[in-house]
Amino acid sequence: MAVRETGQGAEPGTYGGAVHAGGCTCGDCPHGAREGHRRAVAAFLRRRDEFAAGQGLPAAVAHSPSATRQWVSDELTQSAQLVAERSRAEGRAWLARLWRRTAVTVWALVVLLLLVQSLTAIGAGWTAARTAGLLAALVVAAALSAASFLHRARGGALAPVIGEDNRLSTSRAVAAAWVLFLAYSVLVLAGRLAAASHHDERDALLAGLGLARGAGTVAVLAVVCAIAVLVRRVVGLRVLSQRLQKIRADRPRAADLLTDDAGRGSFADLQYVVINAVALVLGAVRLARRPDQLPDLPWGLAVVVLVSAATYLAGKYSEGGRPVILSVVRAREAGDLDAPIRTGEDIEIRGAGFVPPAARGADQLSRMAVRIGAVHVHVPLVPVPGGFSNPTDTRLVVPVPVDVEPGRVTVQVVTAAGVETHPYVIEVTE
């Protein structure tokens, strides 16, 4: 696919004045990064399927199954590293473009608000509350646009809700939504207060800011903000204690708000987002109906939000787990005789949690290793059509190096996230 970029004052096929040929694969322009990643993925998949079918093997290693497996694994690892590099370049280019999209989205919402206010003003007339709401939206949009520009390298206005693993944080996104909503509500009241000419109206507006009027909303805001801070602390401690495996994503995605690191739907995240979205909609309706006070949430709905927050926090405490070795046996081919584990032979490690949730790419799988005694053995990639048969989340096959001393030795699996299993003792004979 030929990719051409037309910039201001530049000829077609250029970007920023630099010439980019058709099908550009460099990483300094967005389309080039995307195309480079696409081509690297296509090349890797083609090479993996060729090896899985037994094609493309050099004659020098074809006579030895172990040498063939190691050579294939090394070739796929190098190709996977190129894919990972291209993917990171595409992620950086995507983030660099995102700030403009967030700014455009914010101003589109302001235009939508203006249209809604204009339509609802037909017959009822334009009021000071509508003017205050529009001015408050303009102030919030200007602030978000400025933040988008200042953090344009980190995703614009979304930078505060992107976690350390480069994914959108559900807890931060929910807290940020409530903060923006309350800030907008206070600005509406401030606008009305500035335009009020009678002291009775000013007193009523000031009373609308009282805690008794917005106790439910304030309680929900306090809880979701506390959850955002607490979840970050919980996740950080679990990662440091090796009870949770985290792999950095190439770029954030909207689906991160509703899924776990592996991209599977998460009940805890889903119910937290849905219930808070419903509460925000009700709060917006209350503000539209009563723009002279803070939007109060009924205590029944506030309690529902609190229960949802507790469920979300419990889900964060329970997710993940440390990888564990359940057993180690000698890998036996068809026709082999039963025998003890010897140096130079393959062993099969059975357990759970060997592959972190987000480590499905070949570049992450190639980082896995097994410590046998004092020797580190990298887990070979064994391709099959459509994927890999080794390693998997519950099974690893590695050779026992000849450098391992016979006797009782320990085996530990080191995952792509750097987490180690507890030692497992095996007996190695000569």
153-200 tens-digit pLDDT = 787 788 888 888 888 999 999 999 999 999 998 888 887 777 666 666
| HSE-up of residue 401 (Cα within 13 Å, Cβ side) | 17
Core vs surface per residue 159-177: b (16+ CB within 10 A) or e: bbbbbebbbbbbbbbbbbb
Q: How far apart are CA 41 and CA 32, in angstroms?
A: 14
**Higher-scoring residue by pLDDT: 52, 20:** 52
Q: How far apart are CA 201 and CA 272, in angstroms?
A: 38
Q: How many helices (H) and strands (E) does the chain have?
A: 9, 11
Q: Which of 275-284, 359-368, 406-415 has the lowest mean pLDDT?
A: 359-368
Q: How far apart are CA 353 and CA 392, in angstroms?
A: 9
Q: How far apart are CA 184 and CA 135, in angstroms?
A: 10
Q: Which of 35-39, 110-114, 193-197 has the lowest mean pLDDT?
A: 193-197
| The pLDDT of residue 151 | 81
**Higher-scoring residue by pLDDT: 353, 125:** 353
The C-alpha torsion from 330 through 331 and 333 to 334, rounded to 10°, is 70
| The pLDDT of residue 200 | 64
- When computed from its CA atoms, the radius of gyration of the chain, rounded to whole angstroms, is 29
Give the mean pLDDT of the chain. Answer: 82
Paired strand residues for 19: 14
212-262 tens-digit pLDDT = 677 888 899 999 999 999 999 988 888 888 888 888 888 888 899 998 888
Per-residue DSSP letter, 293 = S
| 342, 428 contact by CB (below 8 A) | yes
DSSP-based three-state secondary structure for 47: helix
DSSP-based three-state secondary structure for 22: coil
Angle between helices 170-195 and 215-240 (to 10 degrees): 150
Core vs surface per residue 100-109: b (16+ CB within 10 A) or e: eebbeebbee
| The pLDDT of residue 4 | 31
**Higher-scoring residue by pLDDT: 107, 335:** 107
* Strand boundaries in 196-256, DSSP class E: none
Q: Which of 136-145, 264-273, 289-298 has the lowest mean pLDDT?
A: 289-298
Core vs surface per residue 213-252: b (16+ CB within 10 A) or e: bbebbbbbbebbbebbeebbebbeebbeebebbbbebbbb
Q: Residue 407 CB: number of other CB atoms within 10 A? A: 11
With bands split at pLDDT 50, 70 and 90, how would you rate the model's confidence at 33?
A: confident
From residue 55, alpha-carbon distances to 50, 72, 318, 335, 393 in Å are 5, 11, 45, 26, 27
| The pLDDT of residue 133 | 84
- pTM over 0.85? The answer is no
Q: What percentage of residues in the chain have a pLDDT greater than 70?
A: 87
Q: Residue 184 CB: number of other CB atoms within 10 A? A: 17
With bands split at pLDDT 50, 70 and 90, how would you rate the model's confidence at 16?
A: very low
Q: What is the mean pLDDT of residues 125-137?
A: 82
| The pLDDT of residue 211 | 65
Q: Residue 352 CB: number of other CB atoms within 10 A? A: 15
- The residue behind tokens 């096929």 is 13
| The pLDDT of residue 79 | 84
